[in-house]
Amino acid sequence: MIQRKSLFFMESHDAAAMFFIKLWPRIEANKNKIIAVTGIVLAIVLIVLFICWRRAQNRIDAGDALTQTLITIPPNADPAQLSQSYLEVADNYAGTPAGTRALLEGAADLFAQGKYSEAQGHFQRYLDEHPDDELSSMAALGVARCYEAEGKISDAVGAYQHVLQDFADQQCINEARYSMGRIYMQQGKFTEAAQAFESVINEDPYGPLGNQAREYMVELQSKLPRQAAPAQTAPASPFKLSH
């Protein structure tokens, strides 16, 4: 048995040796091509490794830049300075998680300053660059908020509908429905307003948004058919773009 195994390994070794001996002339004849191809493959591997390393390093640098922005600006700093710092991080580190977050923060700060047109542009930029990002629903809501704040009600309604139809974030959907309810009230569409507020109450029965919707429902009682206006009341908090 041992002899058979030894013979088998010897035959395999001899076969490999013969194959190499036959192949060697071809290797010698094409060694320059082989060296060139090997060099190209090695160069490609090195480039891919460098790109992967650079992407990882860029993410780290972006996180450091965003953190530095947060800790170096004093609490009483000019709001315009803060929003500009965020947007610089967003521009310098586009495509990184920290860069995308900075873009959203910068847009929210501009909104808080009353610079609605500028804020809307940056919210829209976020949507254009990151349509499927986990925070894209907040950016879409920001676009709608900016239109409403500018008095562009038709555009605001379309933007709120975009949030309702194309995103799954329930909090943003509640915010959009609540805002639509307020717009309907302003337009005298009291039945539509009641339906919007009731949806918010059903989805957020104990939260501040649901409480605010209940308060509006009390106001709607005198403007709706009696059977369509349930009496509910509670304190509330309006929506704000959060940091």
Predicted confidence at residue 61, as pLDDT, reads 45
List Cα–Cα distances, 77 to 67, 87, 92, 101, 129, in angstroms: 16, 16, 22, 20, 29
Quote the pTM value.
Answer: 0.63
What is the C-alpha separation between 97 and 79, in angstroms, rounded? 23
Q: What is the pLDDT of residues 28-64, one digit of tens each?
A: 666 566 555 555 554 544 444 333 334 444 445 444 4
Tokens of 174: 């509640």
Predicted confidence at residue 233, as pLDDT, reads 39
The domains found in the chain, sorted by start residue, are: 2-168 (1.25.40.10)
Q: How confident is the model at residue 75 (pLDDT cuts 50, 70, 90)?
A: low
What is the C-alpha separation between 175 and 139, in angstroms, rounded? 12
**pLDDT(12) > 80:** no
CA angle in degrees (0–180, nearest 5) for 162-165-169: 95
Predicted confidence at residue 87, as pLDDT, reads 80
Mean pLDDT of the chain: 74
More confident residue, 149 or 84: 149
More confident residue, 73 or 124: 124
Q: How confident is the model at residue 182 (pLDDT cuts 50, 70, 90)?
A: very high
What is the C-alpha separation between 192 and 186, in angstroms, rounded? 11
Q: Is the dihedral of CA 230, 235, 241, 243 positive or negative?
A: negative
- Could you count the other beta carbons within 10 Å of the beta carbon of residue 90? 28
What is the C-alpha separation between 121 and 115, in angstroms, rounded? 10
**pLDDT(68) > 70:** no
* Least confident span in 87-91, 160-164, 196-200, 204-208: 87-91
